[in-house]
A and B are shown apart, each in its own frame.
Chain A
Amino acid sequence: MFLTRLLKPTVTASAHCDLPCGVYDPEQARIEAESCYKIIEKYNASSDDQFKTRAIVIKEKQAELAKHHIDVLWSDYFKPEHVQKYPEITELCWKAAKQCSKVKGSLDLAEAKTLLDMIDKIADVWTKAGGPQATRVAKAAAAKA
């Protein structure tokens, strides 16, 4: 163990990079998760079998997209220094990705709500980690009415 500590490098260099665009926002995952939530609501309110079948197919697709966006945030946006400062982010992303799988296979509105809450927690960390300034292009000032 002593030898490992002695040999361990003290300087870190990155050998891989983000995709060039560098735009990351948990809102992308949230919109997909909101779709799942609304679809489940509509599914439960409907008595049309064809509609219900389509709702399931679309919800599964949206849940998969939410999972993809969470994975992208986790693997591309959050850096070791973020994890050091906000260690909870690892578990938040991991659990949220798993929750996407639950939503994909469920018609329980509570599961979709849980996913939304989890994405909001990721968004809190993203905001604290300077995500909005670091990754988004500022909007022009709102036009006057």
Chain B
Amino acid sequence: MEPALRAGDWIVVTSLSRPPRVGEIVLVRDPRDAGNLMLKRVAAVADGACMIVGDRPEASTDSRTFGPVPLTNVLARAVFRYGPIRRIGWLW
């Protein structure tokens, strides 16, 4: 997800009371491995599922590999980075 997110970033997420919107970074439960949480960007939403992709498609495993993710797997939306200090800021 570079450059939007980098390894080690500290992120605040909020639960979603509505379906995710295209362009938002969401916290998703990996459909292949329920123990794995991922942060990806929403590319499309339709029929109770969304397509999620990484910002660096050449190095990302995402909906292009595992298909659309049910919205029930979308746990939250990333809104704010509070660490590291030099990169503090909103994520939209």
Q: Do these two chains really belong together in a complex?
A: yes
Task: Classify chain A: how many residues form its interface, as a range.
Answer: 10 to 19
| Of the residues A7, A8, A15, A19, contact of B39 by C-beta under 8 Å | A15
Q: Check A15/B10 contact, CB under 8 A, given A7-B83, A20-B65.
A: no
Question: Which of B1-38 touch A at CB < 8 Å?
Answer: 1-2, 5-7, 9-11, 27, 36-38
In whole Å, how far is B28's beta carbon from the nearest beta carbon of chain A? 8
Closest A residue to B12 by CB, please name it.
Answer: A9
The yes or no answer to B90 lying at the interface (CB within 8 A) is no
A15 touches B59 (CB 8 A): no
Contacts of A11 in B (CB 8 A): 37
A20 touches B7 (CB 8 A): no
Contacts of B82 in A (CB 8 A): 7
A17 touches B38 (CB 8 A): yes
A14 touches B62 (CB 8 A): no
B61 touches A17 (CB 8 A): yes
A18 touches B61 (CB 8 A): yes
In whole Å, how far is B91's beta carbon from the nearest beta carbon of chain A? 11
Q: How far is the CA of A78 from the CA of B60 in the complex (A)?
A: 17
Q: How far is the CA of A17 from the CA of B66 in the complex (A)?
A: 12
In whole Å, how far is B4's beta carbon from the nearest beta carbon of chain A? 8
| Of the residues A8, A13, A16, A19, contact of B27 by C-beta under 8 Å | A13
A16 touches B36 (CB 8 A): no
The yes or no answer to A12 lying at the interface (CB within 8 A) is yes
In whole Å, how far is B33's beta carbon from the nearest beta carbon of chain A? 10
In whole Å, how far is A130's beta carbon from the nearest beta carbon of chain B? 13
Q: How far is the CA of A7 from the CA of B82 in the complex (A)?
A: 9
4 A-B pairs with least C-beta separation: A17-B61, A15-B1, A13-B37, A15-B39
A sample of 6 inter-chain contacts (CB < 8 A) reads: A7-B83, A13-B39, A16-B1, A17-B60, A17-B62, A20-B61
- Contacts A13-B27, A13-B38, A17-B61 aside, 20 further interface pairs with beta carbons under 8 A come to A7-B10, A7-B83, A9-B11, A11-B37, A13-B37, A14-B37, A15-B6, A15-B7, A15-B39, A15-B40, A15-B54, A16-B1, A16-B2, A16-B54, A16-B59, A17-B59, A18-B61, A19-B59, A20-B61, A20-B65
- Which A residues are within 8 Å of any B CB, using their own CB? 7-9, 11-20
